[in-house]
Amino acid sequence: MNNILFVCLGNICRSPLAEGFLRHHAKLKGCADSFNIDSAGTGNWHSGKSPDRRVIRAAAEYGVDISALRARQISNIDFDRFQHIIALDRDNLTDLEHLRPSPSANCRLSLFSDLIDKPGFIDVPDPWYGSYADFESVSQQLDRACKALLEKLLTDA
């Protein structure tokens, strides 16, 4: 079982999208049962809330329904429960390095763009203050990136 946690700042835009897209691609490949996929935020401002409505709409354009997801803040136990904790941008990674309990827990902490070949981005940009086109652009980026990540995880397994 691959235990994967995506982490952004608020857990209402980028990380729920990544969660939805990776689960979607795993289903398409017929290997969803081999994955436990979740997402969380480094902050707690939106805990308990649905993903942003613009994200729900952008994901739906790909046939991915993320409306039932609810935001939560990462906690110490996540660093033991998940083999892979994947930061959506470098600020998220820095925050996670500080939040990671000491002595080091069991997980691999990575920046998303470091995990896949030729990602075409370093940070997944935060669309929160942007227009709907920014949400579409992030969705396209994460759809491709999650497909590439799935291939890598299956190859590495």
Q: Which are the catalytic amino acids?
A: 8, 14, 126
E runs forming strands in 9-157 = 35-41, 84-87, 108-111
Rounded distance between C-alpha atoms, residue 65 and residue 21, angstroms: 9
55 and 16 in contact (C-beta within 8 Å)? yes
Nearer to ligand 4NP, 11 or 141 (CB): 11
Residue 54 binding ligand 4NP, by CB under 6 A:
no
Q: Which stretch binds ligand 4NP (CB under 6 A): 6-14, 56-64, 78-86, 149-157?
A: 6-14
Q: Which stretch binds ligand 4NP (CB under 6 A): 3-11, 24-32, 73-81, 99-107?
A: 3-11
Q: Which stretch binds ligand 4NP (CB under 6 A): 12-20, 24-32, 102-110, 113-121?
A: 12-20
Rounded distance between C-alpha atoms, residue 69 and residue 137, angstroms: 21
Minimum CB separation of residue 155 from ligand 4NP in Å reads 28
Rounded distance between C-alpha atoms, residue 97 and residue 120, angstroms: 24
Residue 45 binding ligand 4NP, by CB under 6 A:
yes
Q: Calculate ∠ Cα 39-13-119, nearest 5°.
A: 80
Would you tell me which residues interact with ligand 4NP (CB under 6 A)?
A: 8-14, 45, 126, 128
